[in-house]
Structure 1
Amino acid sequence: MPNQASSPTVTPNGTATNAPLNGTVTNGTAANETATNATINESMNQTVGQLPPPLDALGQGLFPGQTGFVVQVVVTALILLAVFAVRYYEHKWVRSMASDSVKRIAASGAVAVVTALGILLLVDVWGLAPALVNAFKDLEVNERAGRILISAILLGTAYILTNFIGRVIQVVAGSGDAISRHQREILFRLTQVFLYATVIFVIISLFTDNIGSLLVGAGFFGIIVGMAARQSLGAVLAGFVLMFSRPFEIGDWIVVGDKEGTVTDITIFNTRLQTFDGEYVILPNDEVSSDAIVNRTRKGRLRIEVEVGVDYDADPQHAADVALGAVEARDEVLDVPSPQVVMKEFASSSVLLGVRFWIDNPSARRMWRARTAAVAAIKEAFDEEGISIPFPQRSLSSRDDAGDVSLTDPERNGEATTDGGDE
């Protein structure tokens, strides 16, 4: 190939260089990129095995004669050990002062600060600051490494924030009865999902410029998943509704459809009951929310009604007063609201009375205990007052060939009475 002639070119500092005579110009941009990349690589290579001056002096004082890389590893281990020790002892300290909300929040904030300082020290120890600064330069490898490092820092920050916010929610909401334990858990999980979703979105934006198409694809994927798991999603949504509307809580005595029992657990997907027969029932939340819910312990008291019949020959008002006095004397019955006796109807063989009274802290055991005590007291009081409790009675008769009707007990005279005895 023939040699191309070149003419001297005078630079601003007075030096002469040869430039091609065919009109071509040396690509200055490529040369600058090469020089920049070489500088970045050199700076990154220098950070491996070399501590910052203060830490290097400290490391050489603690570990004389050791290489910079060994000192870096040892210092890294010490930093990690210090951070985990602070977190461990903070957890034990917080548990020992459960009643002091301010100190618990301050301790959580201190742990977050210590963890952040530990991350910054690790970045400084390993000399990653230049890599972070130069991560978005023209060299593709450094750019990718910087983005990965930034992603790791974002995830660590999200983890620290979720723990701190969870502690704040637990301390603030746990000081009163306005928010239940499950509501605190749901609030923490929602905050956690929001923070991590935001961080993941930011991380994805670091690696791609086409966020719009990615969101569209995620939307279609969400539609497909929603159609495939619509029943489960319905149970989840119903679980959120139940946890925030609070129609019942753990320990409540409820009736849902044909199921009755005590609530043992409430999750996002289902509600768990223990029946009075010892059965363990799991009800999907969508079925619970779509059916009528009867909570018998919500108000802290429950009204019980015992029905008793009184003979038509007896004075119903006197019988009502006797029944009222009998239940008022029982310890299981509340004085306020006071017991009541109402005359409900004319039954087939008696005047039906409804004895109504209240109990506190209702449960199935307390209800049956109070009902049993009331029935026994009313029966004993009626026996003392000579008030009979009638029951239905039938008279059997037969017809002879002549068409005459005779009773099965021909020796018995008189009509049958409602209480089964002779008049």
Structure 2
Amino acid sequence: MTFTQLPQAVQQDSSSPAADSLNNSLDRIGQGVTDTGRLMLEGEWGLVWEQILSGLTNLFISSVPNIISAIFVGAFFYGLYRLLRGVIRGVLRKSRGVDRGLETIVMKTFRVVGWGFILLLVLSQLGINLSALIAGLGIAGLAVGFAAKDSLENFISGLTILLDRPFKVGDWVTVGNYFGRVSNITLRSTRLETPNRQTVVFPSVHMVTNAVINHSARGVLRVDVPFGIAYKERIEAAREAVMSLLDGSDDRLAPDWDHAVVATKLNDSSVDLELRLFLRDAGDQIPVRLDYTEKIRNALRDADIEIPFPHLQLFIDGADAPIKIERVGSDGDAGGD
């Protein structure tokens, strides 16, 4: 054996039986195609059909062992894949630290990896050169990565959301000018369902780079219902009238929290107050605010407490008695009030 023959010998020793069988089959196919073309040129059509049938028969016979081996390996690892998938799903569903969005991502990733692994094993049993295939897929992956830069950013941001868990499916959040319940979290986007039944889709990178207010993170949420009274009214009387609305019949309110009416500002025409309520469910904040705005108005009216509105008082220096102000109508005639 000479030095120049050494790589060829090493290559022959290291090749698999499946690869040798495939190479032999390919060689026989090439020779068969050449012979078939020669017969066609000579006009021997009967021999052409015999050549084709003989080639297909020989190819099938020579490939049967590889096909049987590939079927056996594929069936075995598919059963193993199904078993592992059931175990992983059971563990994720029993774990309290894994929400539904993360469970979905983990199961999808496992499915892609599992099927890819089974496919590679089957192709290997058929004698296909996997090194060249993997190298080609790697080059294609780089090209796709450069072309899909935004998608990769969303993918990484989606992983960040699922691991950091600033919110989860079912939470009520505010993102920019949108308030809604998180309905789905994927690697690419997060979906919100607003109270008016709209679905808003945010790219994952937007959810990571912008402020997100999670109203459900603490369990109990405080809602402030503002209102005002005139300066001549007493704050304690208004507080008593409004607090009488909280008789314990509203199941939306958290029972073990101290609801209160507080003064927040001395405004130009009113004393501004707030009714502070604590809710069991953050999703009730809009209907609760609307309901108690109406209830507060009715309670203050029943208690004969004035609710002010913007108005202007005019004082004239040196006037010892009220002055009658006349208004000129649209027809030019003077009219008094």
- Pair in the same fold by TM > 0.5: yes
- CA drift of 1:149 comes to 4.4
Q: Which has the higher Rg, Structure 1 or Structure 2?
A: 1
Residues 228 and 308, structure 2, Cα contact 8 Å, conserved in 1: yes
Residues 327 and 377, structure 1, Cα contact 8 Å, conserved in 2: no
Picking from 347, 372, 382, the partner of 2:290 is: 372
Residues 260 and 277, structure 2, Cα contact 8 Å, conserved in 1: yes
Query: Which amino acid in the other structure matches residue 325 of structure 2?
Result: P
Aligned to 1:48: none
Query: Number of aligned pairs?
Result: 270
Residues 262 and 273, structure 1, Cα contact 8 Å, conserved in 2: yes
Note the 1:189-338 alignment, pairs <5 A.
Answer: 189-201=108-120, 207=127, 211=131, 217-327=136-246, 331=250, 332-338=252-258
Note the 1:142-153 alignment, pairs <5 A.
Answer: 146-153=65-72
**CA–CA separation in structure 2 for the residues paired with 1:152 and 1:360:** 57
- CA drift of 1:168 comes to 1.5
- CA drift of 1:198 comes to 3.8
TM normalised by structure 1 equals: 0.54
**CA–CA separation in structure 1 for the residues paired with 2:70 and 2:253:** 65
Aligned to 2:280: 360
Note the 1:8-157 alignment, pairs <5 A.
Answer: 140-141=24-25, 146-157=65-76
Render the CA deviation track for 1:74-103: whole Å, top value 9, x for unaligned.
xxxxxxxxxxxxxxxxxxxxxxxxxxxxxx
Judging changes above 3 Å, is the alpha-carbon distance between structure 1 residues 262 and 200 closer, same or farther for their aligned structure 2 residues?
Answer: same
- CA drift of 1:135 comes to 5.2
Aligned to 2:267: 347
**CA–CA separation in structure 2 for the residues paired with 1:314 and 1:307:** 17
**CA–CA separation in structure 1 for the residues paired with 2:222 and 2:95:** 29
Residues 260 and 275, structure 1, Cα contact 8 Å, conserved in 2: yes
Judging changes above 3 Å, is the alpha-carbon distance between structure 1 residues 174 and 209 closer, same or farther for their aligned structure 2 residues?
Answer: closer
TM normalised by structure 2 equals: 0.65
The gaps in structure 1 that reach 5 residues or longer are: 1-132, 399-403, 412-423
| Identity among equivalent pairs (%) | 25
The gaps in structure 2 that reach 5 residues or longer are: 1-15, 26-60, 327-337
- CA drift of 1:346 comes to 1.4
**CA–CA separation in structure 2 for the residues paired with 1:374 and 1:136:** 79
Residues 123 and 130, structure 2, Cα contact 8 Å, conserved in 1: no
Judging changes above 3 Å, is the alpha-carbon distance between structure 1 residues 369 and 191 closer, same or farther for their aligned structure 2 residues?
Answer: closer
**CA–CA separation in structure 2 for the residues paired with 1:393 and 1:340:** 29
Query: Which amino acid in the other structure matches residue 72 of structure 2?
Result: I
Q: Aligned pair 1:391/2:309, yes or no?
A: yes
Residues 396 and 408, structure 1, Cα contact 8 Å, conserved in 2: no
Query: Which amino acid in the other structure matches residue 140 of structure 1?
Result: N
Aligned to 1:414: none
Judging changes above 3 Å, is the alpha-carbon distance between structure 1 residues 228 and 148 closer, same or farther for their aligned structure 2 residues?
Answer: farther
Aligned to 1:182: 101
Query: Which amino acid in the other structure matches residue 86 of structure 2?
Result: R
Judging changes above 3 Å, is the alpha-carbon distance between structure 1 residues 204 and 143 closer, same or farther for their aligned structure 2 residues?
Answer: same
Render the CA deviation track for 1:129-182: whole Å, top value 9, x for unaligned.
xxxx97577893498765554444333333222222221223233235432333
- CA drift of 1:299 comes to 3.6
**CA–CA separation in structure 1 for the residues paired with 2:188 and 2:224:** 36
SS of equivalent residue, structure 1 residue 386 = coil
**CA–CA separation in structure 2 for the residues paired with 1:219 and 1:355:** 62
Residues 188 and 203, structure 2, Cα contact 8 Å, conserved in 1: yes
Render the CA deviation track for 1:344-381: whole Å, top value 9, x for unaligned.
11111122112111121232xx3333223323333333
Render the CA deviation track for 1:328-355: whole Å, top value 9, x for unaligned.
5552433321102222111111221121
**CA–CA separation in structure 2 for the residues paired with 1:346 and 1:320:** 16
Aligned to 1:410: 325
- CA drift of 1:217 comes to 4.6
